[in-house]
Amino acid sequence: MSTKLWHPFANMADISKKETIIDRGEGVWVWDTSGNRYLDATASLWYTLVGHGRAELAEAAARQMKKLAAYSTFGDFANDPALRLAERVAALSPIANAAVFFTSGGSESIETAAKLVRRYWGAVGKPERHLLITRGGSYHGVAGYGTSLAGIEPNAAGYGELIPGVICVAPDDPRAVEDVIEQHSGEVAGFFGEPVRGAGGVYPPVAGYWEQIQRICRKNDVLLVADEVITGFGRLGTWFGSSRFNIVPDIITGAKGVTSGYLPLGVVICGERVQEPFWRGAGTMFRHGYTYSGHAAACAVGIRNLEIIEKENLLGRASDLEPVLASEMQRLLQHPLIKEVRCIGLTAACEFSAEARQNNPRVADDVLAEARRNGVITRSLLGHSLQVSPPLIITREELKFMVDGFLAALNHVETEMTEMRRA
Ligand SMILES: Cc1ncc(COP(=O)(O)O)c(C=O)c1O
């Protein structure tokens, strides 16, 4: 019997009869329904910052659900967890006097931020500022705007006409941004970028990139949006990637780590400038919001999750482990199938050599399948790299176990490839 579950980002013709059913989790470990144990080297989709199986988070959800699971925050309605989490996230963010708009996840956060950027310029009487700049190789989720902002081309292909007015620039070149702004003088509304490009392959920015982007945006009156869906809430050893790169964006989008994924939640953190036309004077309504914006139980989990990150000093831990992960990853660089490793904070990627990919276009899939047999779950990023983004609670021994698992898998696949070539 094949499954009725249509998996995201999956070829159902391939996997409909061979799902891996994950059953439970504890710390950095998850178990499938056959009882196999795996080290979760990707924290699911980057998000399980505090690790799996945290009873405190289940209890926070249950407590809130018994009292009030959810209630609209449209109009004048609010609930205590939404108010408290907004306060907490605003205080943690590098943006002074921020206001927080809640969504149900990263794609909705980007959708909200992009609409807000355009709506802002309309509200201040400059609707001609409508162009949005994005970076090659970027991932901003899969909603309408996120698909239109996609720098990973296949993610935007095949959907017909997308949202117009998006310009994609080379990812590491501030000069390219300046050129676009000059060519379209007075028409650029906002710049969108991930502090560290994640799904595109874990690319830390080139030195000084973000400071230059901030300078260019400020000089040209362009709103700066940092998409921190991956980098927000501790992955880089700081609450936000923006702080690590010394920038103060106009808007920060977040999701994932705010609840460690225990319940779905996204945030859009907005600075005073963006608030101005909506919050001050006669005001203007931002005609936008989701049924689950400010979901009480999700926000209660968010509050508890941020308490755990703080109480257990997981930012300090990510910083301490950063060089440990980097030196473990160096071991992979010795391997002939690997061309490069990239590391920052508690995330990394190892990239396969062009030769390896030429000899075996499925090399990334083969290695991750073998790593899984060795008890380590990882993910292929666009077929060229493997993702490493473990929970922040991982230990040094577990990091070693993870890299040992990758190495054994690389060795196995390399041997197979050599034998195939000989045959
Ligand atoms: C940078 C970035 N933005 C947006 C998203 C979309 O988030 P979601 O999958 O929660 O909609 C992601 C998801 O990985 C992401 O990495």
The pLDDT, as a whole number, for residue 235 is: 98
Q: Average of pLDDT values for 65-91? A: 98
Distance from the CA of 18 to the center of ligand 1, in angstroms? 26
Q: What is the mean pLDDT of the chain?
A: 97
Which percentage of the chain shows pLDDT scores above 90? 97
Q: Average of pLDDT values for 119-123? A: 98
Q: Residue 333: which H helix or E strand, with range? A: helix 314-333
Distance from the CA of 381 to the center of ligand 1, in angstroms? 14
Which two tokens mark 80? 């205590």
Q: Is the Cβ atom of 317 under 6 angstroms away from ligand 1?
A: no
Q: Is the Cβ atom of 135 under 6 angstroms away from ligand 1?
A: no
Distance from the CA of 420 to the center of ligand 1, in angstroms? 38
Torsion of CA 396, 400, 403, 408, to 10 degrees: -170
Which two tokens mark 101? 């708009």
**What is the 3 state secondary structure string of 116-174?**
HHHHHHHHCCCCCCCEEEEECCCCCCCCHHHHHCCCCHHHCCCCCCCCCCEEEECCCCH
Ligand 1: atom nearest CA of 199 is 16
Q: Is the Cβ atom of 98 under 6 angstroms away from ligand 1?
A: no
Ligand 1: atom nearest CA of 231 is 1
Q: Is the Cβ atom of 111 under 6 angstroms away from ligand 1?
A: no
Q: Is the Cβ atom of 150 under 6 angstroms away from ligand 1?
A: no
Cα separation values, 225 from 56, 98, 268, 345, Å: 33, 14, 10, 21
Dihedral sign, Cα of residue 13, residue 2, residue 36, residue 25: positive
The pTM of the whole model exceeds 0.85: yes
Ligand 1: atom nearest CA of 105 is 10
Is pLDDT of 1 > 80? no
Ligand 1: atom nearest CA of 264 is 10
The pLDDT, as a whole number, for residue 16 is: 83
Dihedral sign, Cα of residue 116, residue 78, residue 106, residue 157: negative
Mutate to test the pocket of ligand 1, among 107, 203, 263 (most ligand atoms within 8 A of CB): 107
pLDDT digit string (tens) for 370-423? 999 999 999 999 999 999 999 999 999 999 999 999 999 999 999 999 998 888
The domains found in the chain, sorted by start residue, are 55-311 (3.40.640.10), 313-422 (3.90.1150.10)
Cα separation values, 377 from 28, 104, 162, 325, 343, Å: 10, 26, 34, 16, 18
Task: Give residue 17's pLDDT band: very low, low, confident or very high (50, 70, 90).
Answer: confident
Is pLDDT of 2 > 90? no
Distance CA 252, CA 150 (A): 17
The pLDDT, as a whole number, for residue 224 is: 99
Torsion of CA 32, 33, 35, 37, to 10 degrees: 0
The pLDDT, as a whole number, for residue 423 is: 83
Q: What is the residue-wise DSSP string for 240-278?
A: -HHHHTT---SEEEE-GGGTTTSS--EEEEE-HHHHHHH
Ligand 1: atom nearest CA of 106 is 7
Distance from the CA of 364 to the center of ligand 1, in angstroms? 22
Q: Whose CA is nearest to atom 3 of ligand 1?
A: 140
Q: Is the Cβ atom of 254 under 6 angstroms away from ligand 1?
A: no
Q: Is 319 within 8 Å of 237 (Cβ atoms)?
A: yes
Task: Give residue 367's pLDDT band: very low, low, confident or very high (50, 70, 90).
Answer: very high
**Range name among 13-22, 54-63, 316-325 with the lowest pLDDT average:** 13-22
- Three-state DSSP state, 194: coil
Distance CA 177, CA 172 (A): 10
pLDDT digit string (tens) for 256-283? 999 999 999 999 999 999 999 999 999 9
- Cβ-in-10-Å burial (0-12, 13-18, 19+) of 419 comes to exposed
